[in-house]
Chains A and B, each alone.
Chain A
């Protein structure tokens, strides 16, 4: 059963995946979200994914691990990802772990969509 906390909108190869849970701290929720996000790679070849985290106010290191797994799987499948809408208070988590150096971040979800439409 797909996660109730993931809202998917697909525009051809651009997929907007919005996580609708405020607190990403529970292992079963994180595991299910991770599985559902990985399934998108099989469903959409050369996926251009926008992962919208604008509803997320709390996250654990376990979720960051899932994000890295998704990034690696997407790269292997010649897909791409923009992590969008990260709240300014959460951005230091990605800076400390240096993930901001390897992943694309865009504060505004609409801008991320425009970015993909141009390329």
Chain B
């Protein structure tokens, strides 16, 4: 089921059990290393299925680019905080930036025919497809994403 895109002004809920957390400057050069670290944490905790890693990388890439470049405007004096957690048989990643967020109205509707040839805006659409939890809080300055472990790995 494709998740809806919901951006709320609510405070985000705390992650149930935090496995790993960090705070890093908004240096986009750090992105790949962070994707690798988060992937390693989830893999070590048995929270990834065989085809999950490329989807996870795509989702983390999207969220980190949004937080560092759009939220914090690539200001390397402004940190992005990241938490990785689990609750039961599902993982969660929370990323907070210090920006003012965004409006869901500004995200192109990728299911509309006129969006087919747009050169941007597909990241959130893909996240909505693969994740089973996707919430934007604090007007979009916090994202919490998550997914259940595949049955065969639970």
From the candidates A57, A61, A90, name the one contacting B122 in the complex (CB within 8 A).
Answer: A61
Q: How far is the CA of A69 from the CA of B31 in the complex (A)?
A: 24
Interface string of A51-66 (1 = CB under 8 A from B): 0000001111110111
From the candidates B54, B61, B126, name the one contacting A89 in the complex (CB within 8 A).
Answer: B54
Are B122 and A25 within 8 A (Cβ)? no
Are B123 and A60 within 8 A (Cβ)? yes
Does chain A have a CB within 8 A of B28? Answer: yes
Chain B residues with Cβ below 8 Å from A96 are: 125-126, 129
A22 smallest CB distance to B (angstroms): 10
Residue pairs across A and B with CB atoms within 8 Å: the count is 64
How many chain A residues touch B (Cβ–Cβ < 8 Å)? 27
A72 to chain B: closest residue by CB: B117
Does chain B have a CB within 8 A of A7? Answer: no
Chain B residues with Cβ below 8 Å from A27 are: 28, 65
Are B126 and A61 within 8 A (Cβ)? yes
B111 to chain A: closest residue by CB: A98
Does chain B have a CB within 8 A of A110? Answer: no
A interface residues, Cβ below 8 angstroms from B: 23, 25-27, 57-62, 64-66, 68-69, 71-72, 89-90, 92-93, 96-99, 101-102
Are B54 and A59 within 8 A (Cβ)? yes
Chain A residues with Cβ below 8 Å from B44 are: none
B124 to chain A: closest residue by CB: A61
B interface residues, Cβ below 8 angstroms from A: 28, 31-32, 35, 51, 53-54, 57-58, 61-62, 65, 110, 116-120, 122-123, 125-126, 129
From the candidates B35, B120, B129, name the one contacting A25 in the complex (CB within 8 A).
Answer: B35
With A97-B110, A97-B126 as contacts: A26 and B32 at CB distance below 8 Å: yes
Q: How far is the CA of A98 from the CA of B86 in the complex (A)?
A: 32
Q: How far is the CA of A26 from the CA of B54 in the complex (A)?
A: 14
Chain A residues with Cβ below 8 Å from B31 are: 25-26
Are A97 and B125 within 8 A (Cβ)? yes
Q: Give me 5 A-to-B residue pairs in the complex whose CB atoms sit less than 8 angstroms apart, sorted by A's number.
A: A25-B32, A58-B53, A58-B57, A62-B65, A96-B125
With A25-B57, A58-B57, A58-B58 as contacts: A98 and B116 at CB distance below 8 Å: yes
With A68-B119, A97-B125 as contacts: A57 and B32 at CB distance below 8 Å: no
Chain B residues with Cβ below 8 Å from A25 are: 31-32, 35, 57, 61
Are A65 and B58 within 8 A (Cβ)? no
